[in-house]
Amino acid sequence: MDLPVVSNTPPAAVGGCASKGCGSPPDALSHLPDHIRARVQDHPCYSEEAHHYFARMHVAVAPACNIQCNYCNRKYDCANESRPGVVSELLTPEQAVKKTLAVAAAIPQMTVLGIAGPGDPLANPERVFTTFRMLSRKAPDIKLCVSTNGLDLPRHVDEITTHNIDHVTITINCLDPEIGARIYPWIYWNHRRIRGEEAAAILIREQQKGLEMLTARGILVKVNSVMIPGVNDEHLKEVSRVVKAKGAFLHNVMPLIAEAEHGTHYGVTGQRGPTAAELQALQDACAGDMAMMRHCRQCRADAVGMLGEDRGAEFTLEKIDALEIDYASAMTRRQEVRAGIVQQLEAKRAEKEEAGRALSTTADIPAANDAERETAGHAMQRPVLMAIASTGQNLVNQHFGHAREFLVYEASERGARFVGHRKTDLYCVGEDRCGDESEDGAAAEAVLAHTIAALRGCEVVLCARIGFGPWNQLEAAGIQPNGEHAMEPIEDAVMAVYREMAAAGKLSGNAGQKRA
Ligand code: CLF
Ligand code: SF4
């Protein structure tokens, strides 16, 4: 059955500012020297832009861990990089290599192989470095990436350098042992279990030492921090400042996920995670000091595909065992695909820079701050959050009911900026459930209610198509659905809608953005 379509107009023939992402903030990587830019432009975690185009995969070869975090239950993956509640199939290094080659051949835009669990990679050095060693020989075009709690990092830095691992993530939740003791009940260090502030002090010391050693060797370091309201939330601003001063490239503040059913200490003691607005406010506060990652999906230790998607089921051991992989041919294809994407991105950047230059010659430049706005005689326009349904390529290209997550952009007089994402459940299941006329109406209603709650604070939803049922309910909840910008680049679509809202007088006054 065809879906009831409210709006599916072809891409609007917009011109001038409207087609160029008018007023968009500059490319987040534009300030970087060329050699650094080249190292991150196809890494989906280190570059927000790249995550629309490139994929990553993880292999779960590291079962053990050397510390205990209060947000972790060992039954599940390492929650420093993963969403708790999912369990990965443990692989041997040989199986991991075979799986990586199979994925690389099937998904040519997969550029990064990461090891992030299910325990701590550096608590399993033999398995992890064997995997990296074999991969750097067999698939030299794949970037290698590792994520660690940092306790055993200093003693492995030299080996990391040897294996050509160019990207390392350290999870640093605090610099103060008193706070650390509320996050880590114990560590295992020099064959001894150590508890309390003494344990936290050792962990913090080793993390900082590891960070300094890596940056001194030119390895790109991303710092992950889990935001735990009432425990380390305020303190993370200091963490951000210090790790930046020590040369960390990017800071990724992730929300604590603590559910009683996961059986973690925080889950069973009722420690809450942050709201979307709290997370964004902290990320904004930290952003004054360093580049922030806002597109992390807290993916599982065996994730495969674009961030936010999981194609792991296509590459189970059973399926890849039967495969014969001609990696030499696959590599040629991979290089072509990658070169094509990089070329496309460079053309987009050039177009954006050109648009910026054109704008700077007009009188229509959005004022940069309140004082400038006053001088320029502009009325204050409030920012607006918009949710986007996208399958990637940086386009508004997904049906509302097919989205498992929405990208959230903030539109303002300064332009469109990505601020995060919101996870939802799938509203359409097959062809016959996309609205209030479905046989399974109650289930659809529940999913829609959950989606509307997840989109709290957003005023607009941009998608390729949307049915009458969800359209009406979104509108009733104060969220305006919009299918007019299907297949347009996200930032262009967001700013076009923002301008329409401004022209309709919906943005005037000093009223703040609707809070999530
Ligand atoms: Fe994996 Fe991590 Fe490397 Fe990325 S994930 S080891 S840096 S390749 Fe990325 Fe996933 Fe967030 Fe991690 S989205 S959880 S930050
Ligand atoms: Fe769990 Fe990872 Fe913490 Fe180890 S480092 S306890 S695996 S969250």
8 Å CB contact between 219 and 165 = yes
Q: Where are the domains of the chain?
A: 34-330, 369-503
For the record, the structure tokens of 465 come out as: 């198509």
Instruction: Tell how far the Cα of 132 is from the centroid of ligand 2, in angstroms.
Output: 21
C-alpha to C-alpha distance for 428 and 96, rounded to whole angstroms = 34
Q: Residue 167: which region, alpha, beta or left (left: phi > 0; alpha: psi -120 to 50)?
A: beta
The residue-averaged pLDDT of 310-339 equals 85
Instruction: Tell how far the Cα of 337 is from the centroid of ligand 2, in angstroms.
Output: 36
Rg of the Cα trace of the chain?
23
Look up residue 498 and give its amino acid.
Answer: Y
Q: In the predicted model, is pLDDT for residue 494 greater than 50?
A: yes
Q: What is the pLDDT of residues 404-422, one digit of tens each?
A: 889 999 999 888 988 888 8
Residue having the nearest C-alpha atom to atom 3 of ligand 2: 69
Residue 289 confidence class, pLDDT cut points 50, 70, 90? low
Q: Does domain 369-503 have CATH number 3.40.50.1980?
A: no
Q: Is 219 touching ligand 1 by the criterion CB < 6 Å?
A: no
The residue-averaged pLDDT of 2-27 equals 32
Instruction: Tell how far the Cα of 79 is from the centroid of ligand 1, in angstroms.
Output: 12
- Range name among 7-16, 135-144, 340-349, 451-460 with the lowest pLDDT average: 7-16
Residue having the nearest C-alpha atom to atom 6 of ligand 1: 114
8 Å CB contact between 419 and 293 = no
Residue 357 confidence class, pLDDT cut points 50, 70, 90? low
Q: Provide the edge-to-edge strand list for the sheet that holds 250-255.
A: 292-293, 250-255, 220-227, 167-171, 143-148, 110-115, 55-58, 304-305
pLDDT at 31: 62
With vertex at residue 41, the alpha carbon angle to CA 309 and CA 78, rounded to the nearest 5 degrees, is: 45
Look up residue 59 and give its amino acid.
Answer: V
- Residue (of 141, 86, 158, 155) closest to 116 by Cα position: 86
- Residue 170 contacts by C-beta under 8 Å, 6 or more apart in sequence? 147, 148, 149, 150, 153, 207, 210, 211, 221, 222, 223, 224
Instruction: Tell how far the Cα of 185 is from the centroid of ligand 2, in angstroms.
Output: 12
Q: In the predicted model, is pLDDT for residue 167 greater than 90?
A: yes
Q: In the predicted model, is pLDDT for residue 511 greater than 80?
A: no
With vertex at residue 202, the alpha carbon angle to CA 201 and CA 204, rounded to the nearest 5 degrees, is: 65
Q: What is the pLDDT of residues 21-33, one digit of tens each?
A: 333 344 555 666 7
Sign of CA dihedral 111, 344, 50, 349: positive
Stronger pLDDT, 439 or 392, i.e. the higher one = 392
Q: Is 169 touching ligand 1 by the criterion CB < 6 Å?
A: yes
Residue 78 confidence class, pLDDT cut points 50, 70, 90? low
- CATH number (3.30.230.30, 3.20.20.70, 3.90.76.10, 3.40.190.290) of 34-330 reads 3.20.20.70
What's this model's pTM, rounded to 2 decimal places? 0.80
Q: What is the pLDDT of residues 268-288, one digit of tens each?
A: 999 999 998 999 999 999 987
Q: What is the pLDDT of residues 181-224, one digit of tens each?
A: 999 999 999 999 999 999 999 999 999 999 999 999 999 999 99
Q: Which helix or strand (DSSP H or E) is residue 261 part of?
A: none
pLDDT at 377: 52
* H-only helix segments in 163-230: 177-180, 196-216
pLDDT at 350: 81
Instruction: Tell how far the Cα of 251 is from the centroid of ligand 1, in angstroms.
Output: 12
Q: What is the pLDDT of residues 367-388, one digit of tens each?
A: 444 554 555 455 678 999 999 9
Pick from 68, 69, 83, 300 the residue to mutate for probing ligand 2's pocket: most ligand atoms within 8 Å of its CB: 69
C-alpha to C-alpha distance for 148 and 224, rounded to whole angstroms = 10
Pick from 146, 169, 223, 257 the residue to mutate for probing ligand 1's pocket: most ligand atoms within 8 Å of its CB: 169
pLDDT at 513: 56
Q: Is 124 touching ligand 1 by the criterion CB < 6 Å?
A: no
Q: Is 307 touching ligand 1 by the criterion CB < 6 Å?
A: yes
C-alpha to C-alpha distance for 257 and 272, rounded to whole angstroms = 8
pLDDT at 81: 64
Residue 362 confidence class, pLDDT cut points 50, 70, 90? very low
Instruction: Tell how far the Cα of 286 is from the centroid of ligand 2, in angstroms.
Output: 24
Residue 87 confidence class, pLDDT cut points 50, 70, 90? low
For tokens 């079962």, name the residue.
63
pLDDT at 356: 62
C-alpha to C-alpha distance for 483 and 467, rounded to whole angstroms = 10
Q: What is the pLDDT of residues 411-461, one digit of tens each?
A: 998 889 888 888 888 887 655 445 444 456 777 788 888 899 999 999 999
